[in-house]
Amino acid sequence: MLKTTTAGSLPKPAWLAEPEALWAPWRLEGDDLVRGKQDAALVWLKLQEDAGIDIVGDGEQFRRHFVHGFLETIEGIDWQKMTKMGIRDNRYEADVPTVTSELRRPTSVHGAEAAFCRGHTSHGLKFTLPGPMTICDTIADGHYGSRPKMAMAFADLLNAEAKELESQGVDVIQFDEPAFNAFMADVKEWGVEALHRAIDGLKCKTAVHICYGYGIKANIDWKNSLGAEWRQYEEIFPALNDSRIDQVSLECAHSRVPLSLLGLLKDKEVLVGAIDVATDQIETPEEVAANLRAAMEFVDPERIVACTNCGMAPLSRTVAEGKLKALGAGAALLRKEL
């Protein structure tokens, strides 16, 4: 009961990439970079275990960005043809690559990374992949002509990748879908269907991480514009609850998502974000326990997994380590109490 995990990303060590930056360029190259990423993953596997995190991950040490890390190996994408696009419903503008022909996955993207992590931990192992809708909101379409159509094509590639990860011993595969609170109608029309295609035939646990974004300025400004209560999820939770995804991960610490909405996920395991990733303030174990206790009003403790609100990649390593420890200690505190 009350197992612990993280939403995914963790900071890169300073010797691997510039700290406290998203998209930070690598500081190593060639074979040194390959070994450097593995070493960074080892550091975080150990630190997660020491912090009492039950289901650990690679902290996304092998990739620069949570979406493009997957896309880099995919054929059919022109990285020279950059298109300026408003993403997450025009929350920010970005130059994104363009899909110019039929998408193909010539080889496994993260299989070797998963195998490496599996070889170095006996804890539950989680791996994250970008969700089909979020990919389509982070890349321009110059081939498929419709977002749902392109999303299904990506979902098929993700499914092949997920099966590879499962075969390497991954216990939980999480799809990151921060686009789910920007396009609520699409979630119901084709977003969940695309996820189903991505998890088709998997026997391991599956999760979807929905999210109001990393603690970066564009997201903080956007959150401040959303009013006193964030009710976007009210529209999509019934569809998620009816879906075949096992777990839903969302931010609950210092979030304006009314916790009562968790009552709409009565058939799911809920990864309750009990660590705020938008502040350097390290939670006390008591604060973490209080966040989890608040969620328990709407979710039985058997269905709660204690988690971070989102990835911690933009934080300093010291802060992220502190927050991991607080998460482990806070969940342990509450377990004891129960």
Nearer to Zn ion, 77 or 310 (CB): 310
Under rule CB under 5 A, how many of the chain's residues touch Zn ion? 2
Question: Closest separation between CB of residue 212 and Zn ion, Å?
Answer: 8
Q: Are 13 and 38 in contact (CB under 8 A)?
A: no
Question: Closest separation between CB of residue 308 and Zn ion, Å?
Answer: 9
Contact set for Zn ion, span 210-269 (CB under 5 A): 211
Q: What are phi and psi of 140, to 5 degrees?
A: -90, 150
Q: What are phi and psi of 329, to 5 degrees?
A: -70, -40
Nearer to Zn ion, 97 or 273 (CB): 273
Nearer to Zn ion, 103 or 211 (CB): 211
Tokens 């609950």 found at: 252
Nearer to Zn ion, 103 or 207 (CB): 207
Helix %, strand %, coil % for the chain, to 5? 40, 20, 40
Distance of CA 79 to the CA centre of its chain: 24
Nearer to Zn ion, 76 or 215 (CB): 215
Contact set for Zn ion, span 280-319 (CB under 5 A): 310
Binding mask 179-218 for Zn ion (x = CB under 5 A): --------------------------------x-------
Question: Closest separation between CB of residue 314 and Zn ion, Å?
Answer: 11
Other CB atoms within a 10 A radius of the CB of residue 239 amount to: 17
Nearer to Zn ion, 211 or 289 (CB): 211
Question: Closest separation between CB of residue 311 and Zn ion, Å?
Answer: 6
Contact set for Zn ion, span 76-135 (CB under 5 A): none
List own/partner pairs for 220-228 with CB under 8 A and 24 or more apart: 220/278, 222/88, 222/91, 223/256, 226/256, 227/256, 228/256
Residues 6+ apart with CB under 8 A from 209: 7, 8, 128, 174, 175, 176, 177, 178, 249, 250, 271, 310
Binding site for Zn ion (CB under 5 A): 211, 310
